[in-house]
Amino acid sequence: MAEVEIPNVEELEEIKVDTFTKRVALVTAIFAVCLAITSLGGSNAMKEMILAQQQASDQWAFYQAKVIREHLYRGQKLRLELDLLERGDAIKPEAKAKWEAMLKKLTEEEKRYGEEKRDIEKEARAFERERDLNRSKDPYFDYAEVLLQIAIVLSSIAILAHSRTVFVCACVAAGLGILLSINGFLLLVQIPFLQ
């Protein structure tokens, strides 16, 4: 009769533990990749928020410069209109023609600056919207990073303790972290306490 070798219970337990360890290690590596992607998304959101704020500030400064120029031309125009009204017919026709030409030019410049400032205001508001969008994304990435780091730590503990319960907790934390990270990229849901 052929000899049948019965496996040692300790060897079976060791193989079982080794398989669990390999699977948890593989899943932990996936958590680490998700953490890297989340970290990159958070970093980019922060950079984009800061850049948009700087661009909005630049546009508002440019807007203010246009407003000042518009007011200067308006003031000069009003002063010239008052001078023309005050001097009336006493002005030589050649001088009056030059004053009227100057008045027309001042009116055109005032109008041009008024139109330019409206375009600049639109750009500044667009940068502010971009800033606000990235500001609302950032907390999702922050909390996602924390949850993914906790998941990695819990996975390490699960390997050391050979505990499936701890590993399930790690998977739950990672799942929440991944959902928050996806929401950080797409802003599908607004969570009130994260705003």
Domains of the chain: total: 1
Residue range 44-64, pLDDT digits in tens: 999 999 999 999 999 999 999
Predicted local distance difference test score (pLDDT) of residue 12 = 56
Domain-located, residue 3: no
Q: Which of 21, 9, 15, 10 is nearest to 160 (CA)?
A: 21
- Give dist(CA 162, CA 20) in Å, integer: 8
Domain-located, residue 73: yes
Domain-located, residue 12: no
Q: What is the domain extent for residue 126?
A: 19-194
pLDDT beneath 50, residues of the chain = 1
Predicted local distance difference test score (pLDDT) of residue 93 = 85
- Give dist(CA 88, CA 176) in Å, integer: 79
Predicted local distance difference test score (pLDDT) of residue 113 = 92
Predicted local distance difference test score (pLDDT) of residue 88 = 76
Predicted local distance difference test score (pLDDT) of residue 4 = 52
Domain-located, residue 42: yes
Predicted local distance difference test score (pLDDT) of residue 8 = 66
Round the CA-based radius of gyration of the chain to a whole number and report it: 35
Domain-located, residue 7: no
CA dihedral 24, 26, 32, 34 (to 10 degrees): -100
Predicted local distance difference test score (pLDDT) of residue 96 = 83
Domain-located, residue 118: yes
Domain-located, residue 169: yes
- Give dist(CA 38, CA 23) in Å, integer: 23
Question: What pTM does this model have?
Answer: 0.78
Predicted local distance difference test score (pLDDT) of residue 140 = 97
Domain-located, residue 5: no
